[in-house]
Structure 1
Amino acid sequence: MQAKNIKFNDAISETLFINLYFRALDNDEPDPILGDPFSRPVMQRIDYDFAKFKGGKFSKTGTVIRARFFDDEILDFARKNAGEKLVVVQVGAGLDTRPLRLEKQLPGALFYDLDLPDVIDLRGELVPKSALNFSLKASMFETAWMDELRARHEGAKFIFVLEGVAMYFSEPEISAFMRNLAQRFSGVVMLDLLSRFAASIEPKKHDVLRYIANPPKFKLGIDDERSLEAWDERIKLLKTGVMMDIRPEKWCLAAKIFRIFSKIKNSCKMCVYGLNLS
């Protein structure tokens, strides 16, 4: 099959290639952090210069640590809610392979991939679907898809995953999104947050974004992850993972040195927030 040349309508969508590439590289390792055999076959069907990201040593490790953290938290939530109807919504799904990674461990769970129409169309061409995997073509900030899912799966527990998404939008946008979820669903939201220091870094100085033409800027920086609870009383922080504290032996030498500075060590956190959970 001829490799597909892809052009996106916005620069944020192009960042999905970064995640895809580093998941594939990680799986080539003898001791992978994530262990994703599905990403390389997808990557091989795309005509794109992935190798330009190879020097991004911080992102190479951080990307798969983040993916593994969310996978583990989804499975943990499922264990704690055994017997409940479970719906996993990937917000800004890109070319993520999570439904394929987790379908055997979550029999009966429904997976929805939410993204802009051009990205969802691309997923349909390149990423095999698991048995209970569906697509939603919409902006994450619309509410029609939320109302549709709530009506379609009344009484379900929902897991919303924003992986490498929130930092590209403003605080008013993300807070409105979280409030809209809190008004409708019971479950959890999982997302990664950059500190204000990390969000202030220009894309052209970022270890991988610099290789994207007209790279997107970071708009959201949060120093205190508990501050999101002030957005709505139904939102409660359940867990925080500091990215650079996880799998310390896997980080490059520069990261191991720089992490002694708290401003750098705490530059990225993965957080789990409860929605309407008692």
Structure 2
Amino acid sequence: MQTSKNKEKISFNNTVSETLLINLYFRAKENELKNPILKDEFSGEVVKKIDYDFSKFDKSKLSRVGTIIRAKFFDDELLKLNNENLVIVQVGAGLDTRPLRLENSFKNAYFYDLDLPDVINLRDNLIPKAKNNFYLSTSMLETAWMDELKSKHENAKFIFILEGVSMYFCQDDLKEFFINLASRFNGLIMADFMNKFAAYKFDNKHHDAMKHIKNAKFKFGIDDESEILAWDERIQFVKKGVMFDMHRKRWGLLGNIVRLFKRVRYSCVMYVFKIN
């Protein structure tokens, strides 16, 4: 059994980065179930290496289901693609294990995990790399990494995944980021967005998971994909998935009651956009 002395001490330069531990823990717990929504045999091993009180999230039942559904949605959308000449970029990758989960299905694809330097260092210490898996240690708002990837994979189809990321950026920064991608790449952007009620009016103190993370505030939400499409004509809507409409049995009684309220039902929606 691994003792706390052998575990990795966690500290982040940005309080938002701590939220990556929520996603990691929920994936690990999900994989312990007999019939998990998402099969992830890797996250549990990572949790064991970290010196952190994950138990504070054990009662965050709705967030746990939502986090797993979101990850499953993006995995499934990727698996629908032809993996020839494909470059998959996880923006704000945290400790996500998607490259390991999907490497057997994407043997010819390249995976890039982008996050801030302290997070990438942690990732490098804790998670083995999949084949053709590379790290980008930088802010997503910089453009040098975009130009570097464009020159390395000139004719590739790019898939950018923002999982649990958009709500922590202000609209101006996120708009500029989307426009920078659309002006350089052909491919898809997959991202989840909170609605304006969840992002602006719902106090984090009442959120079942976020109440345990200090100073990580939600900054942005949308009520409709048209708000994103208005940013640039090169961004086109492909599809969306309403989190509360998926895997209804797993939400339990509470989840199926609160989803009756429209502003709760659409509090988190996963989108796929095309950029050309």
Fold conserved (TM > 0.5)? yes
Equivalent position of 2:157 in the other structure: 157
**3-state secondary structure, aligned to 2:11:** coil
Look up the equivalent residue of 2:70 and give its one-letter code: R
Partner of 2:192: 192
Q: Please report how far the alpha carbon of residue 206 of structure 1 lies from its aligned counterpart in structure 2 after TM superposition.
A: 1.0
Q: Is the 8 A contact 2:107 2:131 kept in 1?
A: no
Structure 2 residue identity aligned to 1:199? A
Query: 2:118, 2:149 → 1: CA distance?
Result: 21
1:215 Cα deviation after fit: 3.1
Counterpart-to-counterpart distance in 2, 1:173 and 1:246? 30
Secondary structure of the 1:121 match is helix
Percentage identity across paired residues of the two chains: 55
What aligned pairs does 1:61-72 form with structure 2 within 5 A after superposition?
Answer: 61-72=65-76
- Aligned pairs for 1:140-155 within 5 A: 140-155=140-155
State the shift of 1:131 in Å. 1.2
- Please give the alpha-carbon distance, in whole angstroms, between the structure 2 residues aligned to 1:63 and 1:252: 15
Which of 26, 35, 50 is residue 22 of structure 1 equivalent to? Answer: 26
Q: Which moved more, 1:203-212 or 1:28-37?
A: 203-212
Aligned 1:238-253 pairs, distance under 5 A: 238-253=238-253
Give the root-mean-square deviation of aligned CA atoms.
0.9
In the alignment of these two chains, the number of paired residues is: 271
Ranges in structure 1 where 5+ consecutive residues have no aligned partner: none
Matched ranges for 1:105-116 at <5 A: 105-116=105-116
SS in structure 1 at match of 2:230: helix
**Aligned mates of 2:268, 2:212 — CA distance in 1:** 21
Q: Deviations over 1:151-206 (max 9, x none)?
A: 00000000000000000001111110000000000000000000000112222221
- Superposed displacement of residue 226, structure 1: 2.4
Q: Is residue 4 of structure 1 aligned with residue 5 of structure 2?
A: no
- TM-score of the superposition, structure 2-length normalised? 0.97
- Please give the alpha-carbon distance, in whole angstroms, between the structure 1 residues aligned to 2:210 and 2:265: 20
Q: Which range is displaced more, 199-208 or 16-25?
A: 199-208
Q: For each residue in 1:90-142, what CA deviation from the matched residue of structure 2 results, as whole angstroms up to 9, or x when unmatched? A: 00000000000000011110000000000001110000100110000110000
Misfit runs of 4+, over 3 Å: none
Question: Could you tell me the TM-score, scaled by structure 1's length?
Answer: 0.96
Q: Is the 8 A contact 1:57 1:252 kept in 2?
A: no
In structure 2, the partner of 1:206 is 207
Contact 1:202 1:217 in 2 (8 A): no
Q: Indicate conservation of the 8 Å contact 1:193/1:269, yes or no.
A: yes
Distance in 1 (alpha carbons) for counterparts of 2:215 and 2:46: 23
Native 8 Å contact 1:58 1:255 kept in 2: yes
| Equivalent position amino acid for 2:47 in 1 | M
Residue 189 of structure 1 aligns with an amino acid whose one-letter code is I
Residue 252 of structure 1 and its aligned partner are, at CA, apart by 2.5
Kept in 2, the 8 Å contact 1:209–1:215? The answer is no
User: Which amino acid in structure 2 is aligned with residue 53 of structure 1?
Assistant: F
For residue 99 of structure 2, give the secondary structure of its aligned residue in structure 1. Answer: helix
- Between the aligned partners of 2:159 and 2:221, the Cα distance in structure 1 is 23
2:169–2:219 contact (8 Å) kept in structure 1: yes
After superposition, the C-alpha distances for 1:41-82 in whole angstroms (9 at most, x for unaligned) are 001000000010011111010000000000011111x23xx5
How far off its partner does 1:227 sit? Answer: 1.9
Letter in structure 1 aligned against 2:135: S
Amino acid at match of 1:258: V
CA shift digits 1:214-233 (9 cap, x unpaired):
23110001001222111000
SS of corresponding position for 2:226? helix
